[in-house]
Copies of this chain bind each other. A is one copy, B any other.
């Protein structure tokens, strides 16, 4: 007869601070992951903190302990990964500018701007996919999306535009900004993972095929920039 061995997990959670050895650390990160998952699918109002807490296997009060309000939780989710890609994008543009010297091109700059994101998306990490879908939602949320996007991403975008000015010296400021706006829309929809193109193309194209997107997007957008931004002064 086997001696009764403690049933593997009834997981009746203890109260109080957890043992350091209890090997279920990083509750905060677990909450952020669960929140990211839910927010990216249903947006800020489509999610209840109960759902998030349940998914993260913690009490709802813990969300308030770490993030104060639901809004605080959302903002924390949005900021967490932004720092990572912002740094990567800045570095990527810097590197390209240094390497290209005077032969800088719009396509090269745009490629440097897109690559960090599209590469990460192509790796297939679900949590990054969720995050990108979240950006897409925020970017198209009228009430407060513009403000949130600006706070998070404007420095990088100004860096991008500075590089584009070098590649397209005759471009007007308006043309540059509007062209970026088109780029932003195309990128965020591509990251939004709605399955839209899958249905439209009857399965021929797949939303998750970031390699196909990556191959086409920079040339497509760069061509648009060139068309718009040197239509007046420089002849084509």
Contact = CB atoms under 8 A, between A and B. Distances in A.
Contacts of A212: 174, 178
Contact of A220 (B146, B147, B228): B228
A219 interface: yes
Contact of A140 (B139, B150, B174, B177): B139
Interface in A170-207: 173-175, 177-190, 192-201, 204-205
Specify the main secondary structure of chain A where it touches its partner: helix
A177 B204 contact: yes
Interface string A121-143: 00000000000010011011111
A186 B41 CA distance: 21
A221 interface: yes
A42 interface: yes
Q: Indicate how many identical chains form the complex.
A: 2
A189 B194 contact: no
A199 B143 contact: no
6 contacts: A136-B142, A185-B186, A220-B227, A220-B228, A221-B224, A223-B224
* Closest 9 pairs between A and B when the two form their complex, measured CB to CB: A185-B189, A146-B194, A223-B227, A45-B46, A220-B224, A182-B186, A45-B45, A185-B186, A146-B196
